[in-house]
Amino acid sequence: MCGRFNMLATPEQLAEAFGLAEVPGYKTSYNIAPGQKILGIVQTEPNDFRAVGLDWGLVPSWARDSKIGHSLINARAETLGDKPSFKAAYRKRRCLIPATGFYEWQKREGGKQAYHVCREDRGVFAFAGVWEHWAQGAERLYSCAIITAPANALMEPIHDRMPVIIGAEHYRIWLDPRQTRQSLDALLAAPDYEGMARYPVSDRVNNPRHDDRYCLA
């Protein structure tokens, strides 16, 4: 799964990486947790990417209560095209979720060890995501989920799943609403994990209230 990540790139780095004109309301964070508002990249017009704020925890448009989002922070790549909670978003509302690293915990005797997984060059990358628009009365909510897949060799010793990373050369394909499910499934089956590394970090990151550089100590 993916239940915690960080976003430490500058607005200028984000604009360059995703071809954005602006990044409104963006701030860096060492410890992003479910339920928080996160940065998403969506396509509003052909070849036009836009940065938007999305609540992490997807609320389907048909949901009676927005609390369902608490349990929908991740979507499995193997099933999201068929599950009622995700299939409409997978077909029409895909997004990129920028990150500079994510955290996972390895179970050990006497506790857990937190690991930080990032590019070896510490550069920005993007998780594959889906987003939804939910409305009830005057309440409006834009939310998202991060797509996960079975862990690769780097992550297997720590956890059995990991977030899908979309390579920069595939950003436009992923966001293009005209793409077929076959082409999208193929993208999810070949994530870009090139140049990733993992490092043990402080248990300070265990608490989502901690948001400082010591999370990476």
Regions of the chain short of the pLDDT cut 50 = none
- Say how far apart CA 26 and CA 85 lie, in whole Å: 28
CATH number for the domain including 107?
A: 3.90.1680.10
The answer for residues whose C-beta is within 8 angstroms of residue 185's C-beta and 6 or more apart is: 81
Q: Which domain holds residue 56?
A: 5-216
What pLDDT score was predicted for residue 148? 98
Q: Which of 114, 181, 190 is nearest to 150 (CA)?
A: 190
User: What positions carry a catalytic annotation?
Assistant: 2, 104
What pLDDT score was predicted for residue 145? 99
Place of tokens 């990476």: 216
pTM of the model: 0.96
- Say how far apart CA 21 and CA 82 lie, in whole Å: 35
What pLDDT score was predicted for residue 143? 98
Q: What are the tens digits of pLDDT across the range 33-47? A: 999 999 999 998 887
- Say how far apart CA 152 and CA 156 lie, in whole Å: 6
Task: State how many domains the chain has.
Answer: 1
What pLDDT score was predicted for residue 57? 98
Amino acid at the residue 59: V
What pLDDT score was predicted for residue 109? 84
